[in-house]
């Protein structure tokens, strides 16, 4: 069975600081991994996705994530946080099963001025 664990339900950083949001997956087959962002009172938007083409994936708004098979991780990073990055972030895993996704519990990012 596939599952996703996001370490830290809340992360707080200062504006301009590095953002690191952690995601570990459990999968019996090579996974397809995604990061989504949810702004208050909105639906989820895709940030980036890993589909085995490259281990370092660049997404929108300056975010990127690195797939590390040995660590079963897909952590999300951004070199310099902006106030507009404050949102909730979800890691998700999928496989060849009618495109069913399994979401982590989410990490709320707070950016302090």
Partner 1 sequence: NAGVTQTPKFRVLKTGQSMTLLCAQDMNHEYMYWYRQDPGMGLRLIHYSVGEGTTAKGEVPDGYNVSRLKKQNFLLGLESAAPSQTSVYFCASSYSGEGIYEQYFGPGTRLTVT
| 19-48 binders of partner 1 (CB under 8 A) | 32, 34, 36, 41-46
Cα dihedral across residues 83, 7, 106, 70: positive or negative: positive
- Binding of partner 1 by 7 (CB under 8 A): no
Contact string (CB under 8 A) for partner 1, positions 59-98, x = contact: -------------------------------x---xxx-x
The one-character DSSP state at 112 is E
Gap between the Cα atoms of 51 and 108, Å rounded:
25
CA distance 84 to 38: 12
Residues of this chain that interact with partner 1 (CB under 8 A) are 9, 32, 34, 36, 41-46, 49, 51, 90, 94-96, 98-101, 103-106
């Amino acid at each position: 069975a596939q599952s996703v664990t996001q370490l830290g339900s809340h992360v707080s950083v200062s504006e301009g600081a590095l953002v690191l949001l952690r995601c570990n997956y459990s999968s019996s087959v090579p996974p397809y991994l995604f990061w989504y962002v949810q702004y208050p009172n909105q639906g989820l938007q895709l940030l980036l996705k890993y589909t085995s083409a490259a281990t370092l994936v660049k997404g929108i708004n300056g975010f990127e994530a690195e797939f590390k098979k040995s660590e079963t991780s897909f952590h999300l990073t951004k070199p310099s946080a902006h106030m507009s990055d404050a949102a909730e972030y979800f890691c998700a895993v999928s496989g060849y099963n009618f495109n069913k996704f399994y979401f982590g519990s989410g990490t709320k990012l707070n950016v302090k001025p």
